[in-house]
Amino acid sequence: MMSIIRLCRSFCGFARTVWRCDRKARLITARENCLPVVPRRIFSGSLHLDKWRARSTDGTVRPTVLSKYFLLTDRHWAQNVIEASGLLTSSDRHKVVIFHVNPGCGVLIESLLELCDHMQIACEPSRLYHDYLRSLEEAYSTKFVYCRGSFVNDSQLEILDKLFTNDGRASDAGCHAKIVGSVSEQSLSFFITKLLLLLSGCCKIRSYQIDVIEPILIVTGCEYRLMTETESMWRKTKSARPALYELFFRIELLQTVPLSAFNHAKQHPKLITKLFDYDQENLYVVRLSLREDLDLVYNHKDMIGVMLLLRVISVRKAQRIIPAMERMFPDIGAKLLECGISMMDRFHDVSLSVWPKIYHTVSSSSEFSCSPLYYIFQRDSYFSAFNQEKES
């Protein structure tokens, strides 16, 4: 078989060869009853799936569809999370709006609707929970709405206009936004970046004035280690999040919640990793806020630049700094040597506190605007959006 594959120079050639071999000796066998369950997708014109669909109408119980997020389903623990997070507290100067990020069919929304009068917005992109959220919107039209998109999409925040119009309150006062929820592992890096820009005021999100933003996230023990053991996790993983947590955020642990309080958490793919040890029996409720000295250390453009540089180097941590940076910015090696970087240093060997200085050295060079690294930054949506906002 390997000799046949080596002789083929294209996929079409490989397909024809397999077909000819299959006519002589059956090489590939398939069993129809091993087809995966796809409950929310319909394929037409497929004989195999038609047979499977007919067999599944005899009352057979299909596997439960697991959400990408952790949905809090225990009312007792929902009450504990509400109290520990201060979601019931109100502000004298600001209206409180609670943003639920990927709430699904959890009980946190229902508990808050029963306990307080805060306005709530559910941002749920999955169609699986839209009927449930629509029923809540019909029952609590004056203080609850939902949108079918992700929270990180700025256009979705126009739902604030609908909420305050239904509520009949003035729209010229400030707003205290409390963001609570869980985010999938695939989109967590983008979400943390978005939170950083929101908290620092680098981007405009509001058709309504949001003065205070308070993110409260439910994360795994794996993510909590990334938040609290930043230097060691920076060396062990390819993620840029440990650097973002170390340089820009303060992390406050509010409460730990056992996995039994969430839906099918034991089977959740986010809990499966072999990179390092962590607590797999509990989830962590944390509050994020910006470092107090952030305004003294960074301006908005430098903060975005440092963030982009960390994202670029996070996938190159095992490479030597000077040769790798020379490929993205020729003739930068001499300046890096002046910063104390040796020829043998790799990206993960340098302390996270040094990277803002390295970025300042790189960006202050007169040749930075002609370097490949600059064009890498230009392709990023945040960097280009900030430049357009600055020009306007």
Confidence of residue 264 (pLDDT cuts 50, 70, 90): low
CA pseudo-torsion sign 117, 198, 223, 153: positive
Is the pLDDT higher at 295 or at 232? 232
- Rounded Cα gap, residues 73 and 65, in angstroms: 15
Task: Using alpha carbons, list the distances in angstroms from residue 349 to 16, 320, 362.
Answer: 51, 9, 19
Whole-number pLDDT of residue 49 = 37
Residue 293: both structure tokens together: 């000295």
Q: What is the pLDDT of residues 69-97, one digit of tens each?
A: 788 989 999 999 999 999 998 877 788 88
- Asked if pLDDT for residue 329 goes beyond 50, the answer is yes
Confidence of residue 53 (pLDDT cuts 50, 70, 90): very low
- Rounded Cα gap, residues 212 and 203, in angstroms: 14
- Asked if pLDDT for residue 390 goes beyond 50, the answer is no
Confidence of residue 152 (pLDDT cuts 50, 70, 90): low
Q: What mean pLDDT comes out for the span 24-39?
A: 44
- Rounded Cα gap, residues 4 and 23, in angstroms: 15
- Rounded Cα gap, residues 53 and 24, in angstroms: 32
Confidence of residue 26 (pLDDT cuts 50, 70, 90): very low
- Asked if pLDDT for residue 62 goes beyond 60, the answer is no
Confidence of residue 270 (pLDDT cuts 50, 70, 90): low
Is the pLDDT higher at 134 or at 263? 134
Confidence of residue 209 (pLDDT cuts 50, 70, 90): low
Is the pLDDT higher at 174 or at 313? 313
Q: What is the pLDDT of residues 87-124, one digit of tens each?
A: 998 877 788 889 999 898 889 999 999 999 898 999 88
Instruction: Tell me the domains of the chain and their CATH numbers.
Output: 2-55 (no CATH), 75-292 (3.40.50.150), 298-391 (no CATH)
Is the pLDDT higher at 52 or at 193? 193
Residue 37: both structure tokens together: 């369950």
Nearest by Cα to 254 from 227, 293, 273, 230: 227
- Asked if pLDDT for residue 322 goes beyond 80, the answer is yes
Confidence of residue 172 (pLDDT cuts 50, 70, 90): low
Whole-number pLDDT of residue 274 = 66
Whole-number pLDDT of residue 199 = 85
Whole-number pLDDT of residue 155 = 55
Q: What mean pLDDT comes out for the span 183-187?
A: 81
Largest CA distance in the chain: 81
Whole-number pLDDT of residue 230 = 94
Whole-number pLDDT of residue 179 = 92
The pTM assigned to this predicted structure is 0.75
